[in-house]
Structure 1
Amino acid sequence: MWGAEGGQGQILDQVVAVTGWSRDNARRRLRAAAAPPGAGRQVAKRTRRQRNPKYS
């Protein structure tokens, strides 16, 4: 994935130049930001509608 095309290395170089982070830190942060939200990273949780009470 990384390094297969030359563009990703250039993007990483630009992020390092702009932010001042190390290459390793920039790579980790970019990978974490691009990862889909999992069990520990929920974007927005919808509240569930409760069931109506049953009277009979």
Structure 2
Amino acid sequence: MFLQSCSMNKAAEMMHIHANTMAYRMKRIEEITHMNTKNPHEQLSLLMEFALREYISS
């Protein structure tokens, strides 16, 4: 949701969770993957990876 909306508040609203919960989850994702989710190049890379995985699995 974050990659689609590019806003933590909008993503939290779409997921029906609190904005602080969304911020915590994004922080954990960044810690685990060592990616900066605020970087547009890394966001595009993630979107492409998800699209390729969906294409390959179908």
Superposition TM-score, scaled by structure 1 size: 0.39
Looking at CA atoms only, which structure, 1 or 2, has the larger radius of gyration? Answer: 1
Larger helix fraction of residues: 2
- The higher relative CO (CA closer than 8 Å, separation ≥ 6) is in 2
